[in-house]
Structure 1
Amino acid sequence: MNDNDRSIVGVAMLAHAMVHTYELSIPILVTVWLDAFSVTPATIGLVVSMGYGLFGLGALPGGILADTYGSRPLIIACLVGMGASFLLLSVAPSVGFVAVALLLWGAAASVYHPSGLSLISKGVSQRGTAFAYHGMAGNLGIALGPLATALLLLAFDWRQVTALLAIPAGVAVLLSLTVEFDETASVEATDGGTSDSKADTVSSLSELVSESRRLFTAGFAAVFAIVMCSGLYYRGTLTFLPDLLAGLPMFDPVSLGGRSLEPSRYLYAGLLMVGIAGQYAGGKLTDRMETERGIMLGFAGLAVVAVIFVPASNAGLVALLGVSAVLGFMLFLVQPFYQATVAEYTPAGLRGLSYGYTYLGVFGVGALGAAMAGVILTYASSSGLFLALAAIAVTAALLAGNLIRTQA
């Protein structure tokens, strides 16, 4: 990588880590909110889905803005908004106020993925490696967010914890403002058929409709369906996993120094930390194999993990630790594959729009996974939830297999 590549990757890694730090601190806070506000999993699942849903729905306008104005202003706005939303959470008097704060978080966070990934795809020459490092930073945030939240909850009230979590966003804003780079350094005439990275940008509703039609070829439509499945699996798995683990006898609270420790929270953080290796492996593999094949194999593995997760959790600690590690690895292995696949199926000038649609699918439609999980856990069981997740993974694997056949 050259200096420009490193600057872009550095800013993107920092912002990506912040986005997922906040995103995955929320499931830890869910375990507190269930008691603090005396609500059911179905209710809190709906509240969380609202914020996570806007996280995805805002990605489409975020992608359009990234194509029009560039990525840096949106990344800065994202960091400012996320910090403000957690300050609001710290004074939430009711679950309704929590919903408002999470909606603000979702709106702010929504612009990151289309702007950040567009920045990498147009400014960095080694996309696969950049996506790998970018994904690893996201996973570091995904792991450290819940870990930091769990540790802070040992010493502080949850309102104080959310206020403290707002501080890193301010630091990230200051650091991001000091770095200079060329956002379009790697755009070539052969990348999407144009040497002008803004030649196809959207500036009106009619252009949005026409350019969306261009994007949704048979190939991109299939990729969009795959990323929706990925979002449903991701959110359906992670939203209530800390609560599910806490319900296992092997993870009963432990008293230490007059405080109650929740071992399940640390397993959850460890599972997400394993995802760093999955992101790195997936990013490296995108430069070495067909991305469609990687997607197919990855989701086939996730289907198997979903089927065996509940039996493994009942078989003892060793089995649970093993299946949790595989889940963490596979859940994030697939992400660099579909991120790189989007770039292959779209022109450079519409890269922000294409990633906007991608994360509309991942986090917008995917947010329904939290509501789905809450409803299934309220009215059925954890076994029913994981069987539903297995069916979603099988669907994604079949869609990827069909892409392979059409490209042959």
Structure 2
Amino acid sequence: MIYPAVLPHIRGTYNLTLTTSGLLLTVLWIAYASGQLPGGILADWVGERPLLITSSLLAAAMLALVIVADSAVILFSATALFGAGTALYGVSRFTILGKIYSEQLGTATGATMAAGDIGNAVMPPAAGFIATAMAWQYGFGLAVPLFLLAAVGLWATLPKRMSTATSLRESIALGDILSTLSQPIVLRGTILLVLWAVIIQAFMGFYPTYLIDEKGISARIATALFGFFFALGILMKPVAGRAYDSIGVRIPLLALMSVASLALAALPFVEAVWLFVPVTVLASSLLGFETIVISDLTRRLPEGTQGTNLGALRTVYLALGALSPVLFGAIAEQEYFDEAFLGIAGLAAIVALTVFASIDY
């Protein structure tokens, strides 16, 4: 989430347009998506613990490469490698929670994802401040030792393997993956996550830039609002997870996406700086959506190949969602920034209607 916060500075360094800026974010998310299935296969095969530790070490190394990039080509390549390195973390964090907290998976997932939002709330404003005061590379540099510290913490605290290893041949059985993901309720959940990913990746990728370029807000206030968005997720995600454990899927998802649709639709019409605070509060309902759907889908996946199936599922929705920043940026490039936000507001309304019409939920 540091990327969107320092994107205006990166644009200046490498002379990127809004379209190529969006492409940089798309490269990051496609690389992250592409690593989900291999990460899931490895989680089933070797276990979550070594994978989570390795991911943290790779992230530190690849982020260091981003910092020293002296051309746009190296920047894009290093960004792709960083996305792939962090991808190994994506599946294992969910499957290990399912094994430890099988009876309260929604709550555990929400709490863990909210912990991530502590970083998302603190790091973008900090990186934005450092980028303004010094250089954007120092904003990224702040994260490198934290990744190394995380690797040490994971090594010290994660439990040993909690289930029998799945053979590599079983893990990569394509027929089993397709049969699982083609189940109607799993397929519906995947489609909902695709639409959610399109919405949130476009919003996260360009919210600070939009506030600065279109609304005339200072970079410091824009990145503070961006960090505030994720700070709200610290509350939103555990509440969403607890709601899932208590009352199921349909009502929480309907409430979250309806509120998000209203917030995104209101954004182009807001001018006063203070009004962006309540709009950001309402938009943060997007952050609870994934917690509920992922918790529900994780419970439905077969035990022995849970990581592989979840990795395949995450590859699908993250890769398709990753296309939205470059498309959103291209639309904004044509001076349709407001219309782009209205477009994802309409998409959020479609998601809400789909959930409302779903009898399985």
Which interval holds the TM-score relative to the shorter structure? over 0.9
Q: What SS is found at the alignment partner of 2:304?
A: helix
Match of 2:339 in 1: 384
Pairing of 1:149-188 with structure 2 (within 5 A): 149-184=127-162
User: What corresponds to 1:341 in structure 2?
Assistant: 296
How much does 1:204 deviate?
5.7
Correspondence for 1:285: 243
Which runs of 5 or more residues in structure 1 are unaligned? 1-23, 185-195, 254-261
Distance 1:32 1:130 in 2: 37
Alignment map for 1:43-62 (pairs within 5 Å): 43-62=20-39
Decide which of 318, 322, 326 is 2:278's aligned counterpart: 322
CA distance in 2, matches of 1:271, 1:170: 26
Aligned partner of residue 181 in structure 1, secondary structure = coil
Question: What amino acid is the match of 1:322?
Answer: P
Q: Which amino acid aligns with 1:228?
A: V
Q: Distance in 2 between matches of 1:388 and 1:295?
A: 20
Query: CA 1:183 to 1:270, structure 2 compared with 1: closer, same or farther past 3 Å?
Result: same
Alignment of 1:10-49 (within 5 A): 24-49=1-26
Q: Which amino acid aligns with 2:240?
A: G
The gaps in structure 2 that reach 5 residues or longer are none
Contact preservation (8 Å) 2:180, 2:186: no
Give 1:398's aligned residue: 353
Distance 1:198 1:396 in 2: 38
Q: Give the drift of 1:182.
A: 4.7
1: distance between equivalents of 2:216 and 2:90?
Answer: 37
Structure 2 CA distance for partners of 1:68 and 1:170, relative to 1, 3 Å: same
Aligned partners of 1:269 and 1:81: how far apart in 2? 25
SS of aligned partner of 1:348? coil
How far 1:42 moved relative to its partner? 0.2
Deviation at 1:27, TM superposition (A): 0.8
Q: What is the one-letter code of the residue matched to 1:324?
A: T
Please report how far the alpha carbon of residue 326 of structure 1 lies from its aligned counterpart in structure 2 after TM superposition.
1.2
Moved more, 280-289 or 391-400: 391-400
Secondary structure class of the residue paired with 1:105: helix
Report what 1:251 is aligned to.
Answer: 217
Displacement of 1:265: 1.4
**Equivalences for 1:267-278 in 2 at 5 Å?**
267-278=225-236
Bigger CA drift: 390-399 or 109-118? 390-399
1:273 Cα shift?
Answer: 1.0
The aligned residue for residue 189 of structure 2 is 223
Q: TM (normalized to structure 2)?
A: 0.93
CA contact (8 A) 1:87 1:166 kept: yes
Q: 4+ runs of 1 displaced by more than 6 Å?
A: none
Aligned AA (1:51): L
Aligned residue runs from structure 1 range 226-237, under 5 A: 226-237=192-203
The code of the aligned residue for 2:344 comes to L
Percent identity between the two aligned chains = 20
Counting helix residues as a fraction of each chain, which structure ranks higher?
2
Distance, in Å, in 1 between the alignment partners of 2:279 and 2:265 is: 11
Q: Deviations over 1:301-357 (max 9, x none)?
A: 22222211211x22x2232211111112x0112122112111232222232123213
Q: 1:372 to 1:346 in 2, by over 3 A?
A: same
Give, as a single letter, the amino acid of the residue that structure 1 aligns with 2:243: L
* In 2: Cα distance, 1:26 partner to 1:108 partner: 16
* Partners of 2:191 and 2:317 within 8 A in 1: no
One-letter code aligned to 1:221? L
What is the rounded CA distance, in whole Å, between the counterparts of 1:360 and 1:91 in structure 2? Answer: 29
One-letter amino acid of the counterpart of residue 130, structure 2: L
Q: Does the 8 A contact of 1:51 with 1:105 survive in 2?
A: yes
Matched-pair contact (CA < 8 Å) for 1:219–1:345: no
In structure 2, the CA distance between the partners of 1:130 and 1:157, relative to structure 1 (3 Å rule), is: same
Whole-Å separation in 2 of the counterparts to 1:155 and 1:214: 51
Q: Which amino acid aligns with 1:244?
A: Y
RMSD (Å), alpha carbons:
2.1
Instruction: Give the CA deviation at 1:359.
Output: 2.1
Deviation at 1:35, TM superposition (A): 0.9
Instruction: Give the counterpart letter for 1:287 in structure 2.
Output: D
Q: TM-score, normalised by structure 1?
A: 0.83
Q: Over residues 42-72 of structure 1, what are the superposed CA-to-partner deviations in whole Å (9 max), with x where a residue is unaligned?
A: 0121122112111112111211111111111
Q: Distance in 2 between matches of 1:162 and 1:348?
A: 38
